[in-house]
Amino acid sequence: MTATLDMRDPEQLDYFRVVQAKGAIKLYMSCGMNVARGMTISKWMAIARELTGKQFAARDYAGAVKALEQRRDTLLTYRQVDG
């Protein structure tokens, strides 16, 4: 399945950011590896906070992943209903 992403659409851009942040945090949780040199786990957690609007305790990576999954599902539901 191929999908196109319109970077001018705010909802699609948010979906892309949610998926990237979730993947980066899960990678860090599983093996302690950062996705990119400049993107530390604290920066990814700040992005998760920004995207979900929730505050996370220090090192609450599982909570951030869960909140990002809920946000992803919300964005997917929005796209299915909207068009």
Q: Tens of pLDDT along 16-63? A: 999 999 999 999 999 999 999 999 999 999 999 999 999 999 899 999
Per the domain annotation, does 58 fall within a domain? yes
- pTM of the entire predicted model: 0.85
Per the domain annotation, does 6 fall within a domain? no
How many domains does the chain contain in total? 1
Greater pLDDT, 73 or 1: 73
Per the domain annotation, does 2 fall within a domain? no
Residue 4 φ/ψ region, left for φ over 0, alpha for ψ in the -120 to 50 degree band, beta for the rest: beta
Per the domain annotation, does 3 fall within a domain? no
Looking at residue 7, its pLDDT comes to 78
Per the domain annotation, does 65 fall within a domain? yes
Looking at residue 82, its pLDDT comes to 54
Per the domain annotation, does 19 fall within a domain? yes
Tokens of 39: 């993107």
**Rounded Cα gap, residues 50 and 79, in angstroms:** 21
Per the domain annotation, does 4 fall within a domain? no
**Rounded Cα gap, residues 77 and 11, in angstroms:** 11
**Domain around 62:** 11-82
Residue 6, pLDDT above cutoff 90: no
